[in-house]
Amino acid sequence: MGGTFSTDCSEFQERVVERSGIGDEACMPIALHELPPEAYFKASLEEVEQVLFPIVEDLLSKHSISPTSIDILISNCSLFCPTPSITAMITNKFGFRSNIKSFSLSGMGCGAGLLSISLAKDLLKVHKNSLALVLSMEAISTNAYHGKAKSMLVTNTIFRMGGAAILLSNKKHDEQRSKYKLLHLVRTHMGSDDRSYGSVIQQDDGDGFVGVSLSRSLSHVAGNALRTNISELGPLVLPYLEQLRCGWGAVHRKLWVTAGRKEIYVPDFKKAFEHFCIHAGGRAIIDAVESNLKLQKEDGEASRMTLHRFGNTSSSSVWYELCYLEAKGKVKKGDRIWQIAFGSGFKCNSAVWKSISVLDPQERNAWSDRIHSYPVQIPNAP
């Protein structure tokens, strides 16, 4: 992109990339390899086809499922909303039934992947004996920012191509071949707060260039959203002793606040979960969640390695992380996994899954060709 920016803007983006934790294998769409980048509508259509068509075909083939067996189809892509919709593109390509229940979600940011799972869960409660296919991605071909506002230039450096296809079922006989069972899904929306609402926002700058602005308060906003989210999630997943400690900690703070004793007790979530999939939105996001939850570096390994290899793939990042854990042979039957996703609005979504099968780490997934090389040592930010 260097040919389209001033020296100052190019150097700023280079510094951000150096600090990002993203490696050399993360993929950019073809349109953004051109100088200057070709931000055509057709380029985004081609990116959707390039990302989603292969993974849908692979999923259906892998599980010997006919396209006509899919009852519910949900896609999420925040910044690209074509007509006909993305779900219509998939239906046309694979020949889904005419009475399929399809939904195309947009404008919901990186947290839309788990939001789509929430929608699928609710629909499966109503429509018995059904299969739901959820597709998560972000199209970046036509969404590069060409101005000079640094708060918007950051998005040019961290987002990369990627996508995920997830199949959910409420059919009794599918339980025998399912990998996971969804235990809990908690959604938090902080949009009523102006600071949260404006922390990640698409707008035009003073020169008329459109981009997504990331505010300096983003980490603070994300921390508040996470605390609100876990206040609802905690009672669902934490052992009673940890809940009692949290309650006593809250009372203790109120009683001794005048004495300056304001330390907040953070529950030990490792007593509730064996694995953590933190949205790979950037090094700072992963660091902040680890710090807020008092996790160890190894708890964020899947997130850091996903960021390194694939970059920020928006709503699909938590699925790359789950694939990493599977390929490493870390997920055992009975293990519980906590997926944490953030999104514009501002949103924090949590999904809790339980492994109900013995997983084969040799089963092919997005990490199969490189898993032997990971984890890698990621240099500290310069």
Residues with active-site annotation? 110, 189, 275, 279, 312
Bridge-based pairing state of the strands 336-343 and 275-278: parallel
Nearest to residue 278, comparing CAs of 300, 307, 309, 294? 300
Q: How many CB atoms lie within 10 A of CB 321?
A: 29
- Written as six digits, the tokens of 6 are 């001033």
Residue 101 is encoded by which pair of tokens?
């229940």
Q: Which residue has the tokens 């190019």?
A: 10
Residues 6+ apart with CB under 8 A from 375: 301, 304, 305
In the block, which residue shows the tokens 């769409």?
29
Contact between 145 and 211 (Cβ < 8 Å): yes
Q: Is the peptide bond before 36 cis (omega within 30 degrees of 0)?
A: yes
DSSP line for 299-330: GGHHHHHHHHHH-B-GGGHHHHHHHHHHHTT-
Nearest to 164 by CA among 2, 300, 325, 321: 321
111 to 76, 101, 133, 185, 314: CA distances (angstroms):
10, 22, 17, 12, 8
